[in-house]
Structure 1
Amino acid sequence: MQWKLFALNTLSVLYLWQHEGERKQLKFINVNEAIEWLNAQRSTGQGNSVERVKVALAFIDNPHIGLPAIHITGTNGKGSTTAFLRELLLSQGLQVGTFTSPHIMTFKERFTFNGELISDEDLLFVIEEMVQINDYMEQTEFGRLVFFELYTVMMAIYFNMKKPDVCLVEVGIGGRRDCTSVVNAQLAIITTIGLDHGDKLGNTVEEVAEEKSGLIKPNSLVVTGLIDEGPLTVIENYAKEMNSEIYRYQIEYGMSDILNHLDQGSTFNFWQTSTEAEETQQNNFAIGMLGLHQVQNATVALQAFELWMRHIEQPIDWVIAKPALQKTNWIARMERIHEEPFVYIDGAHNVAGLNALKQLVTEYFPHKEIHILYAGLDSKNQAAQLPLLSTFESSSLAVTEFEHPNAMSLEQFKELVLSEATHLQQPVQFVENWPEYITDFIFTKNADQMLLVTGSLYFVSAIRQHIVKEFQKISN
């Protein structure tokens, strides 16, 4: 039996059986083995991530060029905004690809098409392509691609294969120097600006805004979320330089008449204006996701949705768009994973996220006895985050450790508690075995009590996987 080569979209090849038409597996037996290969890649090459990714993409004929794309960045709110926007676009019959990070349950979450995870077959094919690409890169001065660089090229290959009507591309970190900046997006979304990843993005909100503004392409559209005047001015100036049209939260568009329905979500109205004298309003939007910040994320998504539909000259059917917005969910963002007693998980991993979570807990669960379990990374500002957690209206605050190379250890937390003792407004418990702690909570607490698990998304991912495995059910 002989092998035959067939070109695919001018960027890759499929090896097929000449008669059966069956794809040949070149290197990997299964997806887990392929992902292990991805994680094992190391490089000592030259250049930054953007340069390295450009070289790799050029080797395979630049599959990212010409992709219809919406680029999403922001200190907080990227994932939820992407989720809302995806459901809105799907409701109008569009084919939608999404690229997000990090994953919570499975690596395949990073690449979806029409809301479905990338198939094992497609993922294996794309990673096989990466083997050839990294073999080539090793021969260049740039060296092999690693981690998010690999994922970005995989995204370009996958979307080129699937040909979506629109690609929602979420940055890894930042904007200008994020390797996803190679995508020439027709619309950029900047959700929020805050101080996070200071070693990479800057020490002031203006510096962070400048970095994130780097996603804005010439003659494109820009949507900004709730952003303070200083960093917003930076974004406005950059958009003007790019000759791009900007739509600012609570200026060109916004929301009003919010009603909080506690654990059932919120309702609100959405408005837009092009001049001070001209304003239009769509009424009676609802979301099931909890928190004022999620209403804000949904509003940002609605503005981006309206602009994209106008861009492609397709009218919006609001009758089916509104239910799509309401049904949107995003795992590990104030997600209820157990009932009676409630167990919620939320990846609030920085000060802005924890402030939003505090407001949510106060407003949405006034009659619950709250217990908090927290773990985070030592790369975050834990000296600010732990005292903030101690101000929550909770009956107990516990910290723990989890498996991750950058996770805060219990010893580090104990040192932090000692050094920040005067700033802590309640005692801190130290939990050595978090699976035992969670199981004990579920079997000993009543419906008036609630466990809130928060911190690093890597931590809440581990919690979610544990609950699914042990209790076989996620409650919605």
Structure 2
Amino acid sequence: MLLSFLCDTTLTQPTRHDESTPASSGRDKIDYENALGFLYDRIDYERLTTGTSRYPFRLTRMRELLGRLGLGHFIELAPVTKLASAAERTSDIERASKPAVIHLAGTKGKGSTASMVAAALTAAGLKTGLYTSPHLQQLEERFRVDGQICHPNELISLVDQVRPVDEALMSDGIGAGSFFELTTALSLLHFHHSGCDAVVLETGLGGRLDSTNVCWPDVTAITSIGLDHQHVLGDTLAQIATEKAGIIKPGVPVISGVRADEPAEVIERIAAEKNSPLLKIGRDFTLDWQPNPVWGSQITFHGRTNPLGKTLAAHVAMEGEHQARNAAMAIAIVQVLRNRLPTVIRGDIKSADITDATIAGALANLRCDGRIQRYALSEKTTGIIDAAHNEDSIAALCQTLKRRATTGPVAIVFGTSIDKSSGPMLEQIAELAKHIDLKRIQITRFNGNPRWRPTAELMAQMPDSLRPIAVVNDDPIQACQAGLQAVTPGGMLIVCGSFFLAAETAPWMHSITCEATDAS
């Protein structure tokens, strides 16, 4: 059985449930639409589209919001407690009935890693909440308990509880909550009502001032540092690392997957300043990786520093060397958390139940929608949808395609957001074309969000080597259909460049799928 989790970090437009969902008839549908409207009305699309102004992060308001919702046990501990011993902190957490919290930041990989961690804890019997963003089809995908998305009717109930508190904040002069503040509060409220033993939180943007950063974690992790959201986080890797390392808490272990010297030094310095034990990939744990002949990979994790286990071999169902690295991060996170949990977590659920075999089984059965997601199409043609939307994630996709697209023609459908580095991404595709039989690159845009980059601008940035095979079609489905025609039979159709584009093309791709693959 495949567990399905959703990954990444940008905003998508609301989508509606079909007639099979309870929120789609009568009064329930009206209440559901009103709940969505309450949240989406908080998005300033004009500001987001310009991509130049700083985001108004306000952690004080986020703390106040959680406190008034009765979620104060999630909020970071008082300064005197922060400096207490690990045993004392655990005692405080237990008295407050606080679930274990795992907090992740990173330019790339944090959503997949968060999903892997959550899957491993669920497999071990812990009721586990997972908060990620954005969603592909419906907002409730952001709030999952043991892999199951929040029910639409539960979303209505959650919004009904949050709305009056938000109105009170406005009346008191504190201000209305932002979209991310409200959805973060909704997720924690959902996890609290569900009685979660563990909660895995993915930052939405950055870390230091992200709305999730009011929570006190048991383990933190920074998966990678790259150039993205520079208008908010800074123009250098060191500046971006400083923002993301803002999730590190005094005395709380931090796992780092960052390899580049400049950002790695920043993380090491901040961890030392906060007396937070730091476990680094390449120093405290390493990874052997080998791609499987068809899909996925085999990995062997080697722990070098306590409390990491010595060796763990696993099959990773998700494709790509980058997902193997994410799996190594997830293994390290879970093993460190296992060492910090009380012996008895709940009833007959014990920390000892989080075995290496359980972790390996979760990695073998996990997929993430929109992450190099594979579809078996007609006439031996393969479809792939990937939400890659920055230089690092496009590089990971291109690396994978060099291995997997070695035979048959290839077509790429590409569209991205106005605030993304589209030129460098197109240059990476041009380099990929030297290694594969790229027949067509369809330049398109998404329709459900105003942040799209105009196709004329993308064509102006098109590398000379790609111009002869570049075609513009502003309709993403028509662009996919044209690309598919160019590579059928026996070829590969790839959709990439934006989570928004992945969301709009996934239903079409699924509708023409001939047999179960990653899309099942």
Q: TM-score normalised to the size of structure 1?
A: 0.87
C-alpha distance 54-361 of structure 1, shift in aligned 2 (>3 A): same
Contact 1:176 1:212 in 2 (8 A): yes
Distance 1:240 1:233 in 2: 10
Counterpart of 2:456 (choices 411, 424, 435) is 411
Counterpart of 2:317 (choices 288, 291, 304) is 288
2:110 aligned partner = 78
C-alpha distance 410-390 of structure 1, shift in aligned 2 (>3 A): same
Kindly state the Cα deviation for residue 179 of structure 1 after the two structures are TM-superposed. Answer: 1.1
Kindly state the Cα deviation for residue 335 of structure 1 after the two structures are TM-superposed. Answer: 0.2
1:354 aligned partner = 394
Structure 1 residue matching 2:294: 3-state secondary structure: helix
Distance 2:467 2:513 in 1: 34
Using the TM superposition, name which of 263-272 and 280-289 deviates more.
Answer: 280-289
Kindly state the Cα deviation for residue 321 of structure 1 after the two structures are TM-superposed. Answer: 2.9
Distance 1:160 1:167 in 2: 9
1:71-470 mapped onto 2 (5 Å cutoff): 71-256=103-288, 258-274=289-305, 281-312=310-341, 313=343, 314-315=351-352, 316-339=354-377, 340-393=380-433, 394-403=438-447, 404-417=449-462, 421=463, 427-442=469-484, 445-468=487-510
Distance 1:103 1:110 in 2: 6
Structure 2 residue matching 1:475: 3-state secondary structure: coil
Distance 2:514 2:315 in 1: 29
Using the TM superposition, name which of 124-133 and 62-71 deviates more.
Answer: 62-71
Q: What percent of counterpart residues are identical? A: 24
Kindly state the Cα deviation for residue 222 of structure 1 after the two structures are TM-superposed. Answer: 0.4
Distance 1:283 1:98 in 2: 24
Contact 1:468 1:474 in 2 (8 A): no
What number of residue pairs does the alignment pair up? 445
C-alpha distance 473-201 of structure 1, shift in aligned 2 (>3 A): farther
Matched, 1:32 2:33: yes
C-alpha distance 144-283 of structure 1, shift in aligned 2 (>3 A): closer
Counterpart of 2:63 (choices 50, 54, 65) is 54
Contact 2:441 2:469 in 1 (8 A): yes
Structure 1: unaligned runs, 5 residues or longer: 1-24
Kindly state the Cα deviation for residue 41 of structure 1 after the two structures are TM-superposed. Answer: 3.4
Contact 1:262 1:365 in 2 (8 A): no
C-alpha distance 38-211 of structure 1, shift in aligned 2 (>3 A): same
Using the TM superposition, name which of 170-179 and 260-269 deviates more.
Answer: 260-269
Distance 2:191 2:415 in 1: 35
Kindly state the Cα deviation for residue 363 of structure 1 after the two structures are TM-superposed. Answer: 1.5
C-alpha distance 125-241 of structure 1, shift in aligned 2 (>3 A): same
1:9 aligned partner = none
Distance 2:394 2:291 in 1: 20
Using the TM superposition, name which of 47-56 and 325-334 deviates more.
Answer: 47-56
Kindly state the Cα deviation for residue 273 of structure 1 after the two structures are TM-superposed. Answer: 0.9
Contact 1:225 1:248 in 2 (8 A): yes
C-alpha distance 263-408 of structure 1, shift in aligned 2 (>3 A): farther
Kindly state the Cα deviation for residue 411 of structure 1 after the two structures are TM-superposed. Answer: 2.5
Structure 2: unaligned runs, 5 residues or longer: 1-25, 48-54, 76-97, 344-350
Distance 1:470 1:342 in 2: 11
Please tell me the residue identity of whatever aligns with 2:135: H
Kindly state the Cα deviation for residue 267 of structure 1 after the two structures are TM-superposed. Answer: 0.5
> In angstroms, what is the RMSD of aligned CA positions?
2.6
Superposed CA deviations along residues 341-396 of structure 1, whole A, max 9, x for unmatched, are 11100111001111111111002232232211100001111122222222223232
Contact 1:467 1:473 in 2 (8 A): no
1:7 aligned partner = none
Superposed CA deviations along residues 427-473 of structure 1, whole A, max 9, x for unmatched, are 42212332123235546743421001001111111111333456697
C-alpha distance 122-297 of structure 1, shift in aligned 2 (>3 A): same
C-alpha distance 345-42 of structure 1, shift in aligned 2 (>3 A): closer
